[in-house]
Amino acid sequence: MARIKAPVVITANDLLTGEVVYLDPAHRWSPELSSAKVFNVIDEAEDELATLFSEAVVISAYLAEVSNDAVVTPRHYRETFRHKGPSNYFHGKQAVQDAEVAA
């Protein structure tokens, strides 16, 4: 497997709900990719990831490549689906985001 390239974010799933979450600059877990801390140096991200092994509130943390232009967007379609939700139903984050816009 090709070595992951910066920029990256740290993503995981929430322990209680399984929801996709991202590590933010304050070392909290956010459901919003836009809140994620973007690492431009892989070693720094890997060091940060290593400290999360004992993390009790999330599971399955790993690095995900992003494009960090005007907004942070996933580079791989797998991460796009995680960020948005499934394509067969309007479920997952897309539904939450839509509800927030409507509110």
- Closest approach, Cβ 17 to another protein, in A, equals 5
Our CB check for another protein shows the closer of 37 and 82 to be 82
| DSSP conformation letters of 34-101 | GGPPPBSSHHHHHHHHHGGGG-SSEEEEEEEEEEESSSEEESSHHHHHHHH--SSSS-THHHHHHHHH
What residues line the site for another protein (CB under 8 A)? 13, 15-20, 54, 56, 59-60, 75-78, 81-82, 85-89, 91-93
Tell me if 96 sits within 8 A of 19, measured CB to CB: no
Our CB check for another protein shows the closer of 13 and 35 to be 13
- Closest approach, Cβ 79 to another protein, in A, equals 10
Our CB check for another protein shows the closer of 56 and 70 to be 56
Q: How far apart are CA 17 and CA 41, in angstroms?
A: 30
